[in-house]
């Protein structure tokens, strides 16, 4: 009985494919190529042409102007500040992401789903509001404003404010990549490692980490890209002090608003190159993860 | 809490529960919960009439309509074209497909300010594309829709793509062998499977669009009552040190976002139930 069904299941798709082929199972060539053309045109108008515009405008006035724009002291200060922010924010959110994913996927406790929702919360908040909340906390009229002023600590309109706002905006990225992945992997391998006598740290390092490395890297890449490019939140808390609290996106904004288009696009082209590198790394990770 | 801890000890030998839960809760509270609660805390200190006047100011109301309208338009454009692009990438082979698939992620990777100045230049009256149109694209609501379409596209493509990939060909073959033509198979068999993913993609793009700032400010022109989005109103109020007003508008935005996510969850639950009955 079961055998005959199996044979049927194996045989029928082959007959189907040969018998009905083309128009019942596939679109005609006209439909196919129209859909491909529509897709390519849409992507050209919305994604590819803007990318080309950036590089063409950046190099419009020649290589020398381009180099001068990106080596201007204000531009260099902006690049340095953005790097500083990345070096602080990305590791902090990575550690948090791993810890949160660990507690959510390896244990059962009350309020687990609520915790997942709360971690996703920053995605539902406008970047401008993300900046505003730190002004309300640490600004001159804010909750801790008076105290901070008396102790001469600057948070808003300084580096700590930029870092806090960026952490808020990029908060869910790593945790979000890890939670579904670690959920799928379950706890059996960790339990085996623990019962064989490995320490908790050793179990994480030798069992969990190798299993999640591609997902983790993926989350870090996304977190990194957003950290470099965050504009709205940083714009609110930075105070736009040239050479001091201007990150790369803010520097681009100032140049653009001063009609220094070539210089603005020169810095923008640097950020576009970073974006392209991000996409390439992302694809390598996806390819590697599939291989494993 | 006591009870759950006891249960846990019986069930698992995996360490680090208190450490990771404690760390997660402290970090979450300091970075997200405490700062975000400031919005509601500050709003409560306002009088009702003051709050009501700020949030119903004509300029604010115009910005709500603009923000919602453009986000909706961009969301619909993205659902249609994003689904077509996902379809083309999964079902067809053509030269340069890998490259096209990669470039879909550009809006995730490119800083919003960079996207903003590029789109503004491209679609401005003298721009490469703008010059071909008699009407304004940049510095009008159309420009905002274009920026939001840019931002939202990968959300739709990347949610529809895996569903399309996992769709078993047997259902389509069954439909065809029962006599349905390709259009019928698409509408009655494939489309219902894609719909939940399309709604998810739309809602992710829409939610992002409601709060979007960086890509819009450069292309919008920012004319009060006409092309001024709600996040920009908050920004303007902050620049005038009107923290109370900024907070009131932020409350409206937050409540709207949370309400929207709630509604989407209900729709999502409903469509999943409706189409997974068999």
The reported pLDDT for the residue numbered A11 is 45
Single out the residue in B26, B45, B64 at which a domain terminates: B45
Q: Quick one: B124 and B260 in the same domain? A: yes
Q: Which residue has the higher pLDDT, A14 or A194?
A: A194
Q: Quick one: B194 and B243 in the same domain? A: yes
Q: Quick one: B185 and B121 in the same domain? A: yes
Q: Quick one: B121 and B213 in the same domain? A: yes
Mean of pLDDT values over B194-207: 92
Q: Quick one: B126 and B61 in the same domain? A: yes
The interface pTM score, or ipTM, of the predicted complex is 0.88
Q: What angle do CA B216, B219, B221 make, to 5 degrees?
A: 100
Tens digits of residue pLDDT in B119-142: 999 999 989 998 899 898 999 999
* Torsion sign (Cα): B12, A185, A223, A67: positive
CA B248 to CA B131: how far, in whole Å?
40
> Least CB-CB distance to B253: which of A39, A126, A194?
A126
Query: What is the residue range of B155's domain?
Result: 54-275
CB B195 within 8 A of CB B275: yes
CA A175 to chain centre: 11
Helix axes B58-91 and B191-211, enclosed angle (nearest 10): 140
CB B84 within 8 A of CB B133: no
Residue B251 has pLDDT above 50, yes or no: yes
Least confident of A184-198, B22-36, B74-88, B136-150: A184-198
Q: How far is B167 from chain A (nearest CA, A)?
A: 14
In chain B, the residue whose alpha carbon lies closest to the alpha carbon of A268 is B114
Based on its alpha-carbon atoms, the radius of gyration of chain A, rounded to whole angstroms, reads 26
CB A126 within 8 A of CB B253: yes
The reported pLDDT for the residue numbered B12 is 74
Residue A1: pLDDT band with limits 50, 70, 90:
very low
Q: Which of B254, B158, B253, B264 is nearest to B203 (CA)?
A: B264
Partner B contacted by A243 (CB < 8 A): no
Q: Quick one: B66 and B23 in the same domain? A: no
Q: Quick one: B67 and B162 in the same domain? A: yes
Tokens of B106: 């550009």
Residue A56 has pLDDT above 80, yes or no: yes
Residue A7: pLDDT band with limits 50, 70, 90:
very low
CA A109 to CA B1: how far, in whole Å?
8
Q: Which of A267, A292, A289, A287 is nearest to A78 (CA)?
A: A267
The reported pLDDT for the residue numbered A22 is 53
Q: DSSP 3-state helix, strand, coil percentages of chain A (rounded to 5)?
A: 80, 0, 20
Residue B117's CATH number: 1.10.3720.10
Give A 98-127 residues with CB within 8 A of chain B.
99-100, 102-103, 106-110, 115, 118-119, 121-127
Q: Is residue B6 part of a domain?
A: no
Give the percent of chain B with pLDDT over 70: 94
Residue A19 has pLDDT above 90, yes or no: no
Q: Indicate the CATH number of A63-291 among 1.10.3720.10, 1.20.58.110, 1.10.1040.10, 3.20.20.150.
A: 1.10.3720.10
Tens digits of residue pLDDT in A91-114: 999 999 999 999 999 998 988 888
Residue intervals of chain A classified under CATH 1.10.3720.10 are: 63-291
Output the pTM of the full model. Answer: 0.88
Q: Quick one: B98 and B29 in the same domain? A: no
Q: Is residue B3 part of a domain?
A: no
In the A/B pair of chains, how many CB contacts fall below 8 A? 286
Tens digits of residue pLDDT in A268-283: 999 999 999 999 999 9
Q: Which residues in chain B have Cβ-Cβ distances shorter than 8 Å to A132? A: 39, 234, 238, 246-247, 250
């Amino acid at each position: 009985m079961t055998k005959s069904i199996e044979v049927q299941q194996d045989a029928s798709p082959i007959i189907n494919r040969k018998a009905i082929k083309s128009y019942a199972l596939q679109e005609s060539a006209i439909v196919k190529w129209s859909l491909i053309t529509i897709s390519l045109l849409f992507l050209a108008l919305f994604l590819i042409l803007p990318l080309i515009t950036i590089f063409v405008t950046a190099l419009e006035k020649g290589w020398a102007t381009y180099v001068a724009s990106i080596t201007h002291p204000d531009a260099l200060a902006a690049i340095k500040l953005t790097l500083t922010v990345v070096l602080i924010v990305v590791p902090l959110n990575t550690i948090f992401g791993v810890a949160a994913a660990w507690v959510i996927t390896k244990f059962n406790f009350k309020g687990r789903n609520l915790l997942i929702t709360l971690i996703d919360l920053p995605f539902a908040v406008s970047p401008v509001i993300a900046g505003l909340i730190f002004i309300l906390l640490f600004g001159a009229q804010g909750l801790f404003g008076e105290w901070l002023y008396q102790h001469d600590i600057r948070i808003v309109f300084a580096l700590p404010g930029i870092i806090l706002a960026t952490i808020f905006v990029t908060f869910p990225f790593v945790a979000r990549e890890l939670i579904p992945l670690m959920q799928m992997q379950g706890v059996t391998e960790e339990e085996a490692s623990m019962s064989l006598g490995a320490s908790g740290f050793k179990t994480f390092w030798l069992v969990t980490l190798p299993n999640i490395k591609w997902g983790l890297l993926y989350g870090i890449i996304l977190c990194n890209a957003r950290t470099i490019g965050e504009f709205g939140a940083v714009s609110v808390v930075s105070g736009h002090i040239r050479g001091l609290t201007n990150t790369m996106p803010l520097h681009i904004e100032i140049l653009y608003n001063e009609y220094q288009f070539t210089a603005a696009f020169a810095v923008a082209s640097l950020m576009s190159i970073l974006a392209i590198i991000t996409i390439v790394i992302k694809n390598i990770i996806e390819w590697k993860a599939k291989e494993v | 809490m006591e009870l759950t801890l006891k249960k846990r000890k019986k069930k698992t030998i995996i360490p680090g529960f208190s450490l990771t839960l404690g760390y997660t809760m402290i970090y979450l509270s300091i970075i997200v919960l405490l700062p975000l609660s400031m919005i509601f805390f500050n709003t409560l200190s306002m009088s009702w009439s003051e709050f009501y006047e700020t949030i119903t100011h004509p300029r604010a109301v115009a910005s709500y309509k603009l923000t919602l309208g453009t986000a909706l338009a961009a969301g619909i454009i993205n659902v249609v074209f994003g689904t077509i692009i996902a379809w083309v990438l999964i079902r067809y082979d053509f030269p340069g497909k890998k490259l096209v698939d990669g470039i879909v992620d550009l809006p995730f990777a490119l800083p919003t300010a960079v996207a903003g100045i590029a789109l503004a230049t491209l679609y401005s009256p003298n721009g490469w594309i703008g010059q071909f149109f008699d009407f304004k694209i940049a510095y009008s609501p159309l420009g905002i829709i274009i920026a939001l379409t840019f931002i939202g596209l990968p959300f739709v493509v990347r949610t529809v793509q895996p569903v399309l990939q996992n769709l078993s060909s047997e259902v389509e073959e069954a439909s065809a062998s029962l006599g349905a033509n390709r259009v019928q198979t698409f509408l009655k068999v494939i489309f219902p499977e894609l719909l939940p993913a399309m709604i998810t993609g739309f809602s992710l793009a829409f939610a992002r669009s409601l709060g979007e700032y960086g890509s819009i400010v450069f292309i919008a022109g920012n004319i009060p009552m006409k092309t001024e989005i709600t996040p920009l109103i908050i920004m303007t109020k902050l620049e005038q040190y009107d923290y109370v007003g900024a907070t009131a508008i932020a409350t409206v935005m937050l409540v709207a976002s949370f309400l929207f996510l709630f509604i989407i969850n209900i729709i999502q639950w409903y469509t999943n139930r409706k189409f997974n009955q068999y």
